Chain A
Amino acid sequence: MKDGQSIIEVRGLSNRFGEQVIHEDLDLTVRRGEILGVVGGSGTGKSVLMRSIIGLQTPAEGEVHVLGENMVGKTEDEAKNIRRRWGILFQNGALFSTLTVAENVEVPIREYFPYIRPPLLDEIASYKIAMGGLPADAGPKYPSELSGGMVKRAGLARALALDPELLFLDEPTAGLDPISAAAFDELILSLQQRLDLTVFLITHDLDTLYAICDRVAVLADRKVIAVGTIPELLALDHPWIQEYFNGPRGRAAADTSKEHAQA
C-alpha cells in the first residue's frame, strides 16, 4: 500500500444546526495507513465531523473526499461502493438488537454478497468474531446479553466484516475499564498493522492517544487547530492543547507510555 497518500480529505467543511455553528471552514487530511486520533472538548463536534465524513450528516458547505470520491451530494447507490470499503464502530456499538452477534457480523456480508452460502457465511462470521477478540460462545448471544466491552468487540467484528481499508472508531474505549481499554487499544493496533487499515479514531482517552495514534488532530474553535504527533503538538502554544496534554491526566498517560517504551 502507498503510505502517506491521503485517504480522507476534508476541505472547507461547515456544519450548522440552526444558529449553532459546529464547524467553520474545517480542513483535515487523513493519510493512508495511519491511525489518526481526533480529540477535542465536549461539544466541539468530533462526532459530527465523523458523521459528515461517512455521509450521515450533509455539511452546509465544503467538500469531503473519501478514498478519492467526493461524498457530498452522492446518491445512496453511488455511496454504496464507498461504504463497503469502510467499517464503522459507533460509540455504543449500535449492534442490531434483534440479531445475534454472529448475525450482526453477517449483515454487511449478506447485504453486499447475497449469494454467499450460509455455511461459508457462518465460517466468515466465526473468524471475524475471533478476530474481534470475543470468546467462543459469543456468536449466538444477543447484544443485551453482552457486557460493554464485548459490545464494542462485537461492533468491531461487524466493522471488519468486509475487510475495510478504512476504519472509523467513535470513542472505542469510553466506558471500558482500564484493562479492557488497554486490551482494546492493542487489538486495534494489531489489526491495523495486519490488515493494513487506516483508522480514524475519536477518543478522550489519553492512554489510547499515546499508545496507538500516529498523529493527533485537535478540534477547537470550530476548526482543526492542529494536526501532528504528540511531541509536535506539545511544542505548540495553544492553551487548550497545553491544558489537555499537560494536565494531571495527560502527564500520567505520558509517563505510562514512557515506561512502556523503556520496558
Chain B
Amino acid sequence: MVAASAAPAEGGNPPFRIRGALTITRAASIQREIDAEADPLLIDLSGVERMDTVGAWLVYRAMRDRGAKLAGASPESQSLLDQVAEFDKPVQVRPEEPATFLRMIGEIGEWIAESGRTIVGLLGFFGATLVGMANVISHPKRFRLNAVVQRFDVVGVRALGIIGLMSFLIGIVIAQQGAVQLQQFGAEIYTINLIGRITVRELGTLMTAIMVAGRSGSAFAAQLGTMKITEEIDAMRTIGVSPIEALVIPRLIAAVVMMPLLAFWAMLMSLLGGGIFVWLSLGIPPLTYVQRLGEVIPATDLWVGLIKAPVFGFIIALAGCFQGMQVKGDSEEVGLRTTLAVVQSIFLVIVLDSVFAVFFGSVGWI
C-alpha cells in the first residue's frame, strides 16, 4: 500500500481505501461501503490490483454525485475511469409507465379498439377472400388444384384417426351417462334416442369443429405467420402471385369441404361407440340399436349437423388465415396469433352454433 497517497481529505475523514479487485464480483459490497462513508470522500485506489468497467463506474459515480476526490489511481485505472465517464450518457433503461389508473383506462380502451379492429379486419379479410374466389372462378386456370388436394390430405385424411377416436369415446361417455340416469326411470331404451339425436344434431359437428380449429386453424395461422416473417408472402406479392389465391383459398376450400365429411365420420364413430356400450352394458343387440336409431333420428337432424359443418369450417379457416396474415415483427407474434386464431375460431363456432340452434328451432326442424 502506498502511504503517501493516503492523505486525509479536507474534512479530516480518513480516505476510503479499496484493496484487491475492484470488479463486478464485489460491486454490491463496495457500493454499500461507499454509501456508508461520510462526505467529503477521498477514495484511495492505490491498493487496487484489478479494475473493470463496473468498478470504474462505482468510483466515477461517487466522483460525479458526491464530489469525491481520487488518490493513487494507476494509469490503467484512470483510463478506465475516463472511458466510463465518456459513456455516461443519459440512456433510458425502463419504459415510461403512466399511473396505474390511467394505464388501466388505457388498456381497456386499447382492448376495445383492438376488438373493433379485429372485427373490421376480419370483415375486410372476408371481403378479400370473396374477391379472390370471384377471381378464381372467372379465371379457372388460376385455381390451384394441387394445393387444394394437399390441404384435403392434411386437414381431412390425416385428421380421421384422432377425430374418429375422440368421437368413439364421446359416444361411449354419452351412452354411459345417459344410461345411468335413464335407468332410474326404467327408461334405458331411450339412451338410444339420446345418443342418436345429440351426436348427429350437435356434438358430431361441434366436436369436429373444435378439433379442426385446434389442429388446422392453428396450423394455418402458424404457417402463414411464419411465411409473413420470412417475407415469403411479400416475395409472392412482388412476383405477382396473390397470397389470398395461393394460400388462403386452398385452405378455405379444404376446410369447407372436409368439415362435413369429418363431421359425418364423427357422427358414425359416436354412434358406434354408443352402440357398443349399450350392447355390452344394457344388452341391447346391435341390430335393434340400428333399427331404433333409424326410427328416432329424423332426417332433419342429419341436415342440421351437416349444414353447420361447412360454415364452421369456413369460419375456422378464415380466422386462422386472418390471424396468420396479421403477423408482423417477430417470431413471438406467431405463437400469439396462433393462440388467438384457435380461441377466436372456437368462440365464433359456438356463437354460430347457438344461432343455428335458434334458427333451426324456429323453422320447425326440432
Interface pair B91/A113, CB less than 8 Å apart? no
Interface pair A126/B330, CB less than 8 Å apart? no
Q: Mark B20-42, 1 if CB is under 8 A from A, else 0.
A: 00011101100100000000000
Q: For chains A and B in complex, what number of residue pairs have CB atoms within 8 angstroms?
A: 81
Task: Name the one of A116, A131, A140, A142 contacting B92, with C-beta atoms under 8 angstroms.
Answer: A140
A residues contacting B by CB (< 8 A) are 97-98, 100, 102, 109, 112-113, 115-117, 120, 122-131, 134, 136-140, 142-144, 162-163, 194-195
User: Top 8 A-B pairs ranked by shortest CB distance?
Assistant: A140-B95, A144-B329, A130-B87, A126-B91, A102-B93, A139-B93, A163-B52, A144-B330
Contacts of B27 in A (CB 8 A): 113, 116, 120
What is the minimal beta-carbon distance from A138 to any residue of chain B, in angstroms?
7
Interface pair B93/A122, CB less than 8 Å apart? yes
Contacts of A126 in B (CB 8 A): 89-91, 93
Q: Does B94 touch A at the CB level, under 8 Å?
A: yes
Query: Can you show 15 pairs from A to B with CB atoms below 8 A apart?
Result: A102-B93, A112-B24, A115-B28, A116-B27, A122-B94, A123-B61, A124-B54, A127-B53, A130-B88, A130-B89, A130-B91, A139-B93, A144-B330, A162-B24, A163-B54
Q: Scan residues 87-142 of chain B and give those whose CB is less than 8 A from a CB of chain A.
A: 87-96
Contacts of B52 in A (CB 8 A): 163
Complex Cα spacing A120 to B54, Å: 9
Q: Does B78 touch A at the CB level, under 8 Å?
A: no
Contacts of A138 in B (CB 8 A): 91-92
In the complex where A130-B91, A131-B87 touch, is A117 in contact with B28 (Cβ < 8 A)? yes
Complex Cα spacing A109 to B24, Å: 9
Contacts of A140 in B (CB 8 A): 92-96
B residues contacting A by CB (< 8 A) are 23-25, 27-28, 31, 52-54, 57, 61, 79, 83-84, 87-96, 329-332
Contacts of B53 in A (CB 8 A): 127-128, 163, 195
| Contacts A122-B93, A140-B95 known; 18 new A-B pairs at CB < 8 A | A98-B332, A102-B94, A113-B24, A113-B28, A117-B31, A123-B57, A123-B61, A124-B57, A126-B91, A127-B57, A127-B88, A128-B53, A130-B88, A131-B87, A134-B91, A140-B93, A163-B54, A194-B83
Contacts of B91 in A (CB 8 A): 102, 125-127, 129-130, 134, 136, 138-139
Complex Cα spacing A148 to B202, Å: 52
Nearest B residue to A196, CB-CB: B76
Complex Cα spacing A263 to B95, Å: 44
Interface pair B25/A113, CB less than 8 Å apart? yes
Nearest B residue to A124, CB-CB: B54
What is the minimal beta-carbon distance from B119 to any residue of chain A, in angstroms?
25
